[in-house]
Structure 1
Amino acid sequence: MLSLESERTMYAVNHSGRLDEALELAAPLDDGSTATAAAGGWAAVESRLYHPGDEQDVTEGRAVVADRLAAIVACSWPRAELTALSYRHAPATADDLCRRLDDCGTNVERCEVIVEALAKGSSIPLALTSPHEVAAAQRMKALLANQAEQLRDVSMTMRGVFRRLYRQRNIVVHGGSTEAIALDSALRASAPLIGAALDRLVHAQLIDNEDPLSLAARAENSLSLVGDPMGPKITRLLG
């Protein structure tokens, strides 16, 4: 149950008004037409991740937003998968891993326990019940084996997804066309990722009082340092 202070923070209009506007703009991604979804979805992230003084705007337009968005999504990915795996480990008889997870007070701690378990040996030490859970565990093992390269690949893939959406949005808004051949596929790939990114932006703003551009800068910094002994842990790329 939320404390009174938490409720005041969540519903303080002067604290989250811009976020409310972004979420309203993104609403067509759920049930709007493809044209309105592309325009609204991009407007939602551009409104929070673009600054008028951006130097990149001169050469790349506002595609810089796609790069920042990609960094945030890439950095949030490990924690999301590890958290899910920590709740999917369900052996018939409770084992030591179950007991260690039960002793955790936060999801970050649960993630760190799963990281430690996956890092040991070549097999998957989790009791998982579905193919997609096993695939997630295999992705995490591959990530732990080569953090910098894996995250760089994920970030580049996400960047391509969001830049395609930006191009399709420009066709809709500036070209006046709602029947672009790649519009549907661009939305299928980007819509759930935009939802995940907005979730991170809302959390950072409401819980940590961190603005979106600051979060994006931290994500880009984490991507450049991950894997370095002095860099962030894989479970704390966004703090």
Structure 2
Amino acid sequence: MPVLAEHRMYRHRIDVDHGAGQFGARLRAAREYVKLSLAEMAAAANFSKSYLGQVETGVRPVTLDVVTAYEKVLGNGMKRKDITHPKLRKIEDGEHLAAVKAAVEAGDPGIFAEGPTSSTIDAAVAPVVSAAGVENFRRWAVTGKTSTLRANAVSIIGFLPGRENADLVARVLDTDDRVRELCLASEVSRLMQWDWATSKAVAADPVTAPDPRKLAAKLAKEAVCEDSEARWCAGWLLQRLAPALAG
């Protein structure tokens, strides 16, 4: 399916399935996920700050032009660092992004089952996927065949707005040991840019962190962010870092 035609289909889904408020909230969550201010997004997307603010809060409808602009900026203007995993999956181009979204809509996890996904993929896909796609991610977070798929799904759900999404993230991280290990290691890796082996070791035993105070400072900021996965991981790691910070 041509990318433009697919965008038109997504626009229809915005109007029918989500409503401006819910979809606008997703766009806002995705923007905050990649550490862009509203002013920075407006400048990059060539819209006024006030207009995008009204879109994100549901005062104005989400349009095809806005969705396209957010996808472009979220995919190309990243401030949020990626993890250091050697097999990190990334978006190749616009057609690849469209294919990834189409697969998710059809119930095929595709790239999310192949390896850890980059912030570029997460931020570009999650805001514009339909309600059915979100439900697929919620299902994969719990019953995905591999821990990689479950962890990737948790990352997607983590920055979507809504109490039910935050509760699901907490429930999975509380009960799925393997997903918890991957998500904690990813949080350490993203924040500190340590190699993957070091990040896994620190996630398993935070007091072994090469620079525990610097890690704690970064985690303290994550503990109050909008991303429920990041909040949960930051709280878990900070609690266990305490012995290394004493004295």
Query: Into which bin does the TM-score normalised by the smaller protein fall?
Result: under 0.3
Bigger Rg, which one:
1
Q: What is the TM-score normalised by the length of structure 2?
A: 0.26
Q: What is the TM-score normalised by the length of structure 1?
A: 0.27
Higher RCO (CA < 8 A, seq sep 6+): 1
